[in-house]
């Protein structure tokens, strides 16, 4: 059974940092691109970043480029999101999602349960 479990969310002050993790199981992790998607009441679902199966290729939304870094450890079946220079508007539920393929993550066929990040100003 495919499972993904996010952790690392919490309350942080504006300007601070957090690292989210997503522990995956039930599939060959390195064979799938993985992404982070966040959800806020005001902006709905927002794709943030994708990383290819090997970890070489990465893609970012403009809203987080230069502040967030996606990475993965295929030996630990774990996806990460390092979030720096956090802003109040980064407050959201953060989901990790498995992509449809190894390279481009066209659609997300499995999602984690999400972890809440709250940035206080």
Partner 1 sequence: EIAMTQSPATLPVSPGERATLSCRASQSVSTDLAWYQQKPGQAPRLLIYGASTRATGIPARFSGSGSGTEFTLTISSLQSEDFAVYYCQQYKNWPRTFGQGTKVDIK
- Binding site residues, partner 1, CB under 8 A: 35, 44-47, 50, 59, 61-62, 95, 100, 104-114
Question: Smallest distance from the beta carbon of 116 to partner 1, in angstroms?
Answer: 12
Report the C-alpha dihedral over residues 87, 118, 79, 27, rounded to 10 degrees.
-140
CB 96 within 8 A of CB 4: yes
- Report the nearest approach of partner 1 to the CB of residue 16 (Å): 25
Burial class (CB in 10 A: 0-12, 13-18, 19+), 117: buried
Closer to partner 1 by Cβ: residue 5 or 14: 5
What is the closest distance, in whole angstroms, from the C-beta atom of residue 75 to partner 1 in the complex? 26
């Amino acid at each position: 059974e495919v499972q993904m479990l996010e952790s690392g969310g919490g309350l942080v002050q504006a300007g601070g940092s957090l690292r989210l993790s997503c522990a995956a199981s039930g599939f060959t992790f390195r064979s799938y691109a993985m992404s982070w998607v966040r959800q806020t009441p005001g902006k709905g679902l927002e794709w943030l970043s994708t990383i290819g199966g090997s970890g070489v290729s990465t893609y970012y939304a403009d809203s987080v480029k230069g502040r967030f870094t996606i990475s993965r450890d295929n030996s630990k079946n774990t996806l990460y999101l390092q979030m720096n220079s956090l802003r109040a508007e980064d407050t959201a539920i953060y989901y990790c999602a498995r992509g449809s393929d190894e390279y481009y993550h066209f659609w997300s066929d499995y999602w984690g349960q999400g972890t809440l990040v709250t940035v206080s100003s």
